[in-house]
Amino acid sequence: MVRFLSCIGLLFCLSGCFGGGNLCRDFDSWIFAKYGKTIFASPEELTLRGVHLGTGEVTASDVVMEGRITDLSEHGTYFVLFDDAGRLLVVLSEIGTDVPIGAFEQSGSVRVLGSIESGKKGLPLLRARAVRFLPDRTERARSGKEA
């Protein structure tokens, strides 16, 4: 009987962790920053073109986007992500001071996990939960990791 009750208690605790979502979401953010993948969530990979040409169905959904940093705020609260298709404002308020500003300045490309929101005048922005810094494309080409 004690074993049965302990199993029920363990299942209750685990269901509480998965039901709230914050623990799983925080763990996914940490894993994404380290390895570039998520475990519990399955975010959609989007390009900047897909965000700008989207009809609104991507708003408030979890997405992963990749690009280069063009403008970084002085206090590390936002940066502008760009590629050949356009630019997008990335807000870093959920990340806080976990990532030093120097990491943004040294990185060539980044992958960002976050959600698309509607900003001022209806323009889309990405509210980042985690950032994965990628080596510069020229470094990846020299090391043979990119074809």
List the chain domain ranges: 43-143
pLDDT one-digit tens code per residue, 15-72: 555 555 577 788 888 889 888 888 888 888 888 888 877 755 666 678 899 999 888 8
Closest CA to 47 of 81, 71, 76, 74: 81
CATH topology of domain 43-143: OB fold (Dihydrolipoamide Acetyltransferase, E2P) (2.40.50)
The pLDDT of residue 127? 92
Burial class (CB in 10 A: 0-12, 13-18, 19+), 95: buried
